[in-house]
Amino acid sequence: MDRIKKKLFKSIAVLLALQLVLISCGGRSGVSEGGSAQPAPHFKPGFNLFTPEQDIELGRKSAAEVATQVPLLNDQAVVAYVQQLGARLAERAPGYKFPYQFNVIAARDINAFALPGGFIFVNAGAIAAARNEGELAGVIAHEINHVALRHGTNQASKAYVAKTGINILRNEEEILDG
């Protein structure tokens, strides 16, 4: 059984890594067409084969890999500001209390992403584009919610189940044809 869990974990980790490459965050503003703010819906994490502790382990390994692949910003004032703002927001995050870590990527693109377990990366371009702290806080809060709702491992879990189902069907087909 332990061997199966390790194999499952590795398979899902690969799927998650691929998903990270393919996904970038973009979303709704929470403001209706008429310009009035809408009440925030309350969501719950979906189906997940991972424990929160496994999210943290996977996120830690993935964050270490990201840090070798992208240039991290070497401006302590900016990094400290993002970390302090992120920590204030993360205190109010629902669900499991992940050990949030906030990093700044030295890239002009307007982007941010979250890895499982609380590892959040914000591009310097997103910080520069924010007209005020509220806009930057919105970007970071959006990423915190990806972590809190465990979107990364939820998607990987669903992909694994779908892949397993397809493999079962293929095996049954081979048995019937053989």
More confident residue, 104 or 1: 104
For the stretch 6-65, pLDDT in tens is 655 555 554 454 454 444 454 443 444 555 666 666 667 778 788 899 999 999 999 999
Kindly state whether residue 96 falls inside one of the protein's structural domains. Answer: yes
Backbone phi and psi for residue 174, each to the nearest 5 degrees, phi listed first:
-65, -40
The pLDDT, as a whole number, for residue 47 is: 80
Kindly state whether residue 35 falls inside one of the protein's structural domains. Answer: no
The pLDDT, as a whole number, for residue 70 is: 97
Backbone phi and psi for residue 39, each to the nearest 5 degrees, phi listed first:
-65, 145
Kindly state whether residue 47 falls inside one of the protein's structural domains. Answer: no
The pLDDT, as a whole number, for residue 22 is: 41
Number of domains observed in the structure of the chain = 1
The pLDDT, as a whole number, for residue 167 is: 67
The pLDDT, as a whole number, for residue 11 is: 54
Q: Check whether 102 has a pLDDT greater than 80.
A: yes
Pick the closest to residue 53 from 91, 5, 113 (CA basis): 5
Q: For position 147, which CATH number holds?
A: 3.30.2010.10
d(CA 122, CA 135) in angstroms, rounded, equals 13
For residue 137, give its domain range.
Answer: 71-151
Kindly state whether residue 91 falls inside one of the protein's structural domains. Answer: yes
Kindly state whether residue 129 falls inside one of the protein's structural domains. Answer: yes
pTM (two decimals): 0.71
Kindly state whether residue 50 falls inside one of the protein's structural domains. Answer: no
Q: Check whether 177 has a pLDDT greater than 70.
A: no
Type of residue found at 172 = E
Tell how far CA 61 is from the center of its chain.
Answer: 13
The pLDDT, as a whole number, for residue 164 is: 76
The pLDDT, as a whole number, for residue 48 is: 77
Kindly state whether residue 144 falls inside one of the protein's structural domains. Answer: yes
The pLDDT, as a whole number, for residue 124 is: 98
d(CA 120, CA 153) in angstroms, rounded, equals 15
Kindly state whether residue 163 falls inside one of the protein's structural domains. Answer: no
